Copies of this chain bind each other. A is one copy, B any other.
Amino acid sequence: MDVKTVCLGMLTEGEASGYDLKKAFESSFGHCFAAGYGSIYPALASLAESGCVDCEEIAQDGKPDRKVYRITDKGWDMLLAELANPAPSHKVRSEFLAQMAFAHLMTPEQVQTVLDSRIEDADRNLKFIDEFENSCDCDWPAGVRFTLGFGRTMLHAMKTYVEENRHMFDDATTTTKKAAAR
């Protein structure tokens, strides 16, 4: 389940350009599986080379050619094979938590600023999910609704945890450790 596979999955909804896919990554997948142009364009090129997608170049005057991709039968086979993975991963990479583990090397002000920014980020993402969910009359398939609910639940849990546990850093002893350790 890499960027290539997710692109294939998106193409089952209809043909699309790299630019379209980027927008889809930002909206529906933003909270759980990000990808930038640096991943998407090479992925599409590789899929085209291996015959999993067809590419049609549509000339446009002024703008660069629009390259529209369409999934092939081979692409379907590949996608369904990937979806058979019984234990897909769910990974977290948190510079936030890594930084908090060394909170005793930071000033209390720095710590509180970081906690504030994490709450703001959670709020931003929650708002984003809500807007996305309400943006469309059509209803999403069950799977998409599941992922949106998942995202909302996790963000909410994160926000609540930070709010209810930030007092853990109130202790005055943390302030002096930096100097003492050095």
Chain A residues near B (Cβ < 8 Å)? 1, 5-6, 9, 12, 28-29, 31-34, 76, 79-80, 83-106, 110, 113-114, 117-118, 121, 141-147, 149-151, 153-154, 156-158, 161-162, 165, 168-169, 171, 174, 177-178, 181-182
Contacts and interface: CB of A to CB of B under 8 A. Distances in A.
Nearest to A12: B181
Copies of this chain, whole number: 2
Nearest to A177: B141
Given A33-B97, A94-B32, A105-B83, A168 B154 contact: no
B86 A105 contact: no
A97 B143 CA distance: 8
Given A83-B106, A96-B89, A153-B161, A174 B101 contact: no
B98 A9 contact: yes
A91 B68 CA distance: 30
